[in-house]
Amino acid sequence: MVSITVKPRGTKPSKRFPLTVDLPSAAPTVSDLKAAIAAKVKLNANRQRLTTADKKVLDDDAKTLKELGVADGDSLEIKDLGPQISWRTVFLTEYFGPLFIHPAFYFGSKLIYRREFEHSKMQKVALGLILGHYLKRELETIFVHRFSSATMPVFNVFKNSGHYWGLSGLLIAAPLYGPWNGASALAGSTRASDNWIYGWAGVWLFGQISNLITHLNLRSLRPPGTRTRAIPRGYGFDLVSCPNYFFETIVWVAFTFLTLDWASAIFTAVAVAQMYVWALKKHSRYRKEFGKDYPRRKAMFPFLA
């Protein structure tokens, strides 16, 4: 039997903690401990964040307490993370925004802009690319992605949706489908050229296919229901730690050149900056986790950074 004392994090008084949990197993896992706490104080395991005295987070439920340096009689701190929602639900909600907003502006353009006009080929192709991008993301969320954590704080669904519904949805759609980008307005311009439109659409398709390949590669490294991580290798990974972000950058750069629209450029700049921040964090984590075994490569941009 292993006995663990669980104390509240910080100095705020708690009616439920401290408490002592006795685990009958000789080698209990983090999951066993969380289940025992949940049984005693009715605190869902997904809401529990356990840390050791030296602030090490016990974030791998499959590992034993011994593997993480926690021994019989030790004390841990707990934080209630608040109401939770599944990662998959958050992603599906985020990506639904552009899938709804863009068709609404396109098919409702005469009502929204109060003018009769014919949509240009650029507008038609741009709508198809946006819908293709987010439909792909929805399908990847359902069939491809595996999440290291089951849930996230419920507030995140509103914060994350603001980015996709607001920036990728309203910000891009409102100016993109207006009469100033219609067929008569673009007649004879670069954006009416088939070479321009289909050339950038081809670059977009290359980025999408490459992005999907990297996601499938990452999926293959993590067995279902685990947080196992291995060094990713192969297509794109020989040059950067996060080729999925690099290829998505190609997608949005291509879309921006296709439309030559200021709103698309703003969204692309924000999205690429955010992905670069994520890439730096993942790159640092990989190097820390795998040490000297991790290959020399850049974080997101081949040969650059």
| Per-residue pLDDT band at 302 (split at 50, 70, 90) | very high
Residue 83 phi, psi dihedral angles, 5° rounding: -55, 140
pLDDT one-digit tens code per residue, 31-83: 999 999 999 998 999 999 999 988 889 888 888 999 888 999 899 999 998 89
- Nearest CA to 215 out of 237, 194, 196 is that of 237
**pLDDT of 148 higher than 80:** no
Label residue 229 by pLDDT band (50, 70, 90). confident
**Can you give the pTM of this predicted structure?**
0.86
Whether 216 shows a pLDDT value over 70: the answer reads yes
The yes-or-no verdict on residue 282 having pLDDT over 80 is yes
**Separation in Å, CA 93 to CA 84, 107, 141, 155, 161:** 15, 22, 11, 13, 7
Complete domains list, the chain, with CATH: 2-82 (3.10.20.90), 85-293 (no CATH)
Task: Name the percent of the chain lying above pLDDT 70.
Answer: 97
φ, ψ for residue 67, nearest 5 deg: -60, -30
What the block records as the tokens of 268 is 């692309």
- Over residues 112-121, the mean pLDDT reads 96
Residue 146's pLDDT band (cuts 50, 70, 90): confident
Average pLDDT, the chain: 93
Q: Give dist(CA 226, CA 198) in Å, integer.
A: 42
Question: What's residue 227's pLDDT?
Answer: 66
Tell me the angle at which helices 87-107 and 121-143 cross, rounded to the nearest 10 degrees.
Answer: 160
Ranking 10-14, 92-96, 149-153, 251-255 by mean pLDDT, the lowest is: 10-14
